[in-house]
Structure 1
């Protein structure tokens, strides 16, 4: 056998040790210590901690998921609402603009305006041209009066002359009008029938930029379709504010900010509950270049969630801005609700886990108290627990265990009493064997000195009997010793009965060293002599044989005497099968009975061993002994 040797460095880390092995060992020791401290905790505490951690994890994950989902839903709902509002406002502005376009078309094709402009170009007198302006006023009044959103209507001639009707009580100072404007009008209107000009373009009668938007259209002569002038309708942007007003708006709509801007970021209209600054400011035009029409931006030192809709009709972008702090306020409300729900859930879970752990551990504590009483010797402690759950089954198993322990203790107590009873029986049977043994040796010596050989032989055999009986009955002896004891006994009986009976022993040599209990065969031979063969005048025979069968040592003591009736045999066998260690002897012969032998064998080796009796009247009796084959 090879013994592998290791150098000391392998264990100390000085030779061949891997880097960090001491740190790994320290971590392992710490983990073991932590696990030991955890295992030393009470079951109730561990259950409460485990339930609380698991429930905290579940409630935490649920609350975080709920919060994230609802926060995302609020943001998505905000974007969706902003898109809807921006689209609706853009469509309303389109309709508004279409009405103005129809108004401009009606003005441009009105016969009175056509005639007055025709007269204007024919007139050469400046006074006559001014007179035409007075003629145009009632016509322009008729067009503008029903339209509350129209602030003024202007007619521009090709020679830079301007006729204007305004609803303002105090007209605004006229802004210079030049051929540059006419050239710009002609260039733009060559590709489309109308154009929109914000207030900061500096055209028309306006002194406060951002208050009006001009809607300009060519006036073509009918039927030649030659351009004879331009009509400009100034729209007060405050009309947009009235149009956007919604008395049924919700909380989010009240906080939103509306901006109408063109693709360059120039603000045409701005409305909101909070001051947004001067409308001449510019909006971030990069927002309108993105493929996504919603998102988040920083504007005027404030964060907004935005969504916009571009009108292909006007070229304007209707932007809905909702302050992010308003959305965060809703998220804060959701966060507070989630926190309250989580805290209440944790308290409920903690209470339920405590009650459940208490309900589980209470029977266990009761069981521990009862086991402590059992440890002190009180075996009458029983669990009274109703139910078929694990605790109920444990209680039943505990009660069954105590019943088994009590039964085993009673059996051991009875076996000790039976053993003492057997030893006392043997001692009584010996009748002070030391004194008798010494007396028999003296008788043997005197008989041989005086030549009485038969008395000396009987004394010698009887002394051997008593010497064999003096030793402990509980110690097994070789089968050889028991047979020698039987031969001593039979020598004495031969001096009594002469040749009326004989003894045969059929035991194989290997079985002579088999271990059996002392004084288990000789009493059976004695019973055969005293009960089976006592009335026979000759031919009596006792046969002892031994063999192995099914891993057991079988000994049979057979006589050819008078035998027993079936009723007697059945009664004897029943008394053997149903006997207990405290039963008194039945059929006692020579101080040690058949029942005593049977009980001693079963107490020493178990219930599967002992005596079996077979007998028939006139055919003799066979007693079979079963011992474990321990040789």
Structure 2
């Protein structure tokens, strides 16, 4: 059995059950796929909206914090303020400005006053300040008192250039150090301008602990395990809940797949989908990144999956319990029809299927089955009749063959006699008799040969011309004959000895009564895809009773049990019978006759050029 017919191995009940389960399963899978897709898209959209808002708020809060911290220093770094003479001169007024301009000429006590100003600022403003460093144009440094700030070239106020704008510079800890600065801090670089010339005279560097950042970011949560982290302008981790990642380049961490392009992103971390969104600060140059596992944002997705699984399980159980019963109701009539067909197969044609009117296909099939059995009975009777008719036809063909064989017995005596006559005519110099004997021998030789029932039209016309030459010798010079046939028809197959007997009939009933003063014309043409050959004469025509008798005999020949016998018009009946036996009733001989004007005998053949066409 071919692979494409494999489903025929199973019963209809099994196939319907499998089809219903398959359709249900595919439907649920598609529903689950679409639900999962749209839940995921919705969860992503919700996350990105929330994350963008949260990161933007955090950035705004940090920017405001740094701007407020910078503004709180303006009073300290301003120039000398107007004083009340009654209160006396304040020795610290404008001291920071003076140190920045000419601090190299300050005494140690004056430098202590500068350091004290910086220390008091720390005590009065923010506990998150680790220390303050004042830097002049000539890179002189003044530190606040009691600070453990680094004083090597790694410090931003030593390694970096002076800045003419507010900057936030991170400083990353050394994990091998045991000092207070082993923890990272950020430096707020505030430019200091001369109030008189409005030119920069130095920078005030405030070292801030990241505890304020930690408190801001630590309070913001996304899901159960989601969080925020900060990446500085060179791609290093400035803040992360995991302190081991602080100071590391983002590219060297497990979070390296996250892009900081400002676009929403979804990546895989250890095979799990992660949602990430970042927001860039123009003040600090940092990126605030929101990070959360996908499953924490799409909690409804798991609920949908569990619901789909429950629906699928319930559908399978219900299908296994209910569908077999429903399918049984549908299949039972089909099984009854199958059993009835087996009885018909065994020859019992009297069976009858119960059928009810309606649009039910099974009932319609039962009605068709009943019509089929009735038609089978009719066909069996018709086949029997056809077999009898076929046997009759074969007997007729056998009779015709026997008759043809009998006509072929011992033709050599006739041939030899004609050759002797031809030789004597030649010796006696009688060319007319010589030609007549030659043509007569050719006609009989053609007649006795039996290569098949059909011959090319060319051969049939050649034999006809031999016969017409004999007639012409007999009735010369009064008799005339013409053969007009296109070369295109010469290879068409026709029944052997179909034209000459008709022409001989014309000679007998048209030429002889007029003592040879007559004309026979033969022409061929195509009509409705058939080849038609007409033999016309200008004799006296057929009497009406003879013409009627010929038509009756032709119709009788067309009947399955028709027979024909020798009579005056044996040529026409014989030709018609052989044509009907070979081609069927639409083909054969037809006659048109006008009393006193002549007759036209038409032979209609199927137009073909080979026996297998």
Considering the TM-score relative to the shorter chain, is it more than 0.5?
Answer: no
Question: TM-score band, normalised by the shorter chain?
Answer: 0.3 to 0.5
TM-score under structure 1 normalisation?
Answer: 0.42
TM-score under structure 2 normalisation?
Answer: 0.43
